[in-house]
């Protein structure tokens, strides 16, 4: 697994569809405006960002009238959850439990569209290395862009719970920003429900590309990389262990150094990987022993359901702002950052610490991944083919050091800074 190219600049720029041709006299209209000058394109991006921001905080866009995007993606928690619950409630009566932990929405601007075969020009000079399934949004990469993703929570029965696009559009018509919506997308935008819904998710997707909100790069580690702050001795040790391929080896997936073009690190390579986090009995869906969240092969994602080699794979999240979280991994099983890190060190050397016991007293190892898929598990360091009784890749003190380092990744505008 090599270091992967950073797409931040290309993707951020791509949302602003600026034309290099001379000024076009045609008025931009409707959801798909014609060619625009650079100035017009920037003005449109700004208008859509402002609209998307209003929509993001608007609870009237939910069936309950009480849930906005920001209810789960709290701006004071890096657009992750404020609560410690592994999953949030949604639906018309806010009584339908979700099935996965709420991710932070920061540092997604650079996520490439999902692909089964990712090749990277920064891969140790070798572009022919296939890094496997990579990219996309959500824990299983099933949406490619913010505007595709935003359809999911608006219409999900356990999120904002609208029964269809028409219900969302009816709420938009009555929103205080309905006038601004028409100004941006055309006076007749509400005449066509699908156009209006497409416009709404486009505005949300554009807002998610706003750098001040979503990728400020204002952590102490960013200041350190820029030569403007120092890290403590412990944080520096943690950084070394995080990057050391024979110790934490964390940086092989959670990239921690600036890319060749100088773009700051995202702390993810967007790869989809199986690490067998313990099953979380606190998720109501898990009361059914036949329900298993297998990530890339389903059941939420349906296009790759026959690909057994993809069962158990979830997207590597950024570790920026991870210290703000109160539950960790796709199923929110762990509730302290220290446990999340310690799990890597002793998943294989001391599985009894992490997995429950079966009725016969033996450890129910990898209890959220059917045995048929165990071959999909990642075995690179820190796991490294170790077995019960072997020495873990990290000592307790080294785990503390890595946790201290992760604390430097919190953005300056966030609580606890």
Question: Which residues contact ligand HEC (rule: CB under 6 A)?
Answer: 67, 69, 71-73, 88, 90, 98, 100, 102-103, 105, 108, 137-140, 146, 149-150, 153-154, 159-160, 204, 208, 248-250, 252-254, 273, 275, 277, 300, 314, 316-317, 319, 322, 325, 328-330, 337, 340-341, 344, 378, 380, 382, 402
CB of 40 to ligand HEC, least distance (A): 25
Instruction: Report whether 39 contacts 194 (CB < 8 A).
Output: no
CB of 199 to ligand HEC, least distance (A): 14
Closest CB 226 distance from ligand HEC, rounded Å: 23
Closest CB 349 distance from ligand HEC, rounded Å: 13
Q: Which is nearer to ligand HEC, 121 or 379 (CB)?
A: 379
Closer by beta carbon to ligand HEC, 28 or else 98? 98
Instruction: Give the position of tokens 């404020």.
Output: 82
Tell me the backbone φ, ψ of residue 4, rounded to 5 degrees: -110, 155
State in angstroms the smallest separation of the CB of 108 from ligand HEC: 6
Q: Give the nearer residue to ligand HEC in terms of CB position, either 19 or 286.
A: 286
Q: Which C-beta is closer to ligand HEC: that of 5 or that of 325?
A: 325
Q: Which residue has the tokens 């100035």?
A: 39
Q: Specify the residue, 36 or 322, whose C-beta has the smaller distance to ligand HEC.
A: 322
Residue written as token pair 């992750």 = 80
Query: Would you say 82 or 108 has its CB closer to ligand HEC?
Result: 108
For residue 243, the minimal CB distance to ligand HEC (Å) is 10
CA–CA gap between residue 33 and residue 45 (Å, rounded): 12
Buried b (16+ CB within 10 A) or exposed e, 91-125: bbebebbbbbbbbbbbbbbbbbbbbeebebebbee
Q: Which residues contact 263 (CB under 8 A, 6 or more apart)?
A: 6, 8, 9, 110
- In whole angstroms, what is the distance from residue 192 CA to residue 190 CA? 5
Q: Please identify, using beta-carbon distances, which residue of 40 and 344 lies nearer to ligand HEC.
A: 344
Query: Residue 50 to residues 57, 173, 200: CA-CA distances in angstroms?
Result: 11, 17, 12
Instruction: Give the C-alpha separation, 415 to 417, whole Å.
Output: 6
CA 167 to CA 361: how far, in whole Å?
52
In the complex, least distance from residue 70 CB atom to ligand HEC, rounded to whole angstroms: 8
């Amino acid at each position: 697994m090599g270091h992967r190219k950073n797409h931040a600049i290309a993707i951020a720029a791509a949302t602003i569809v600026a034309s290099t041709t001379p000024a076009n006299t045609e008025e931009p209209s409707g959801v798909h405006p014609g060619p625009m000058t650079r100035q017009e394109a920037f003005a449109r991006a700004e208008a859509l960002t402002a609209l998307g921001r209003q929509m993001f905080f608007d609870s009237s866009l939910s069936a309950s009238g009480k849930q906005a995007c920001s209810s789960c993606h709290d701006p004071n928690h890096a657009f992750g959850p404020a609560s410690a619950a592994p999953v949030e409630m949604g639906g018309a009566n806010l009584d339908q439990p979700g099935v996965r932990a709420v991710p932070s929405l920061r540092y997604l601007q650079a996520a490439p569209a999902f692909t089964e075969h990712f090749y990277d020009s920064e891969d140790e000079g070798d572009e022919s290395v296939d890094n496997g399934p990579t990219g996309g949004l959500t824990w299983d990469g099933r949406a490619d862009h913010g505007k595709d993703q935003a359809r999911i929570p608006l219409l999900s029965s356990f999120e904002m719970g609208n029964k269809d696009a028409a219900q969302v559009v009816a709420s938009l018509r009555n929103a205080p920003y309905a006038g601004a919506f028409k100004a941006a997308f055309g006076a007749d935008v509400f005449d066509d429900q699908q156009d209006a819904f497409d416009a709404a998710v486009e505005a949300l997707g554009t807002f998610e590309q706003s750098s001040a909100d979503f990728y400020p790069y204002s952590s102490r580690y960013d200041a350190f990389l820029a030569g403007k702050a120092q890290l403590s001795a412990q944080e520096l040790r943690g950084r070394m262990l995080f990057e050391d391929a024979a110790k934490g080896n964390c940086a092989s997936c959670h990239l921690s150094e600036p890319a060749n073009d100088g773009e700051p690190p995202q702390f993810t390579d967007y790869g989809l990987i199986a690490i067998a986090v313990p099953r979380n009995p606190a998720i109501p869906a898990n009361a059914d022993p036949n329900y298993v969240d297998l990530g890339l092969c389903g059941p939420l994602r349906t296009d790759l359901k026959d690909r057994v080699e993809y069962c158990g794979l979830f997207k590597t999240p950024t570790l920026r702002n991870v210290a703000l979280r109160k539950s960790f991994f796709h199923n929110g099983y762990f509730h302290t950052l220290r446990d999340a890190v310690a799990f890597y060190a002793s998943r294989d050397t001391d599985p009894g610490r992490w997995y429950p016991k079966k009725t016969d007293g033996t450890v129910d190892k990898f209890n959220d991944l059917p045995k048929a898929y165990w071959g999909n598990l990642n075995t690179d360091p820190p796991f490294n083919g170790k077995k019960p009784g072997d020495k873990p890749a990290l000592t307790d003190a080294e785990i503390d050091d890595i946790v201290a380092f992760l604390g430097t990744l919190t953005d300056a505008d966030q609580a606890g800074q």
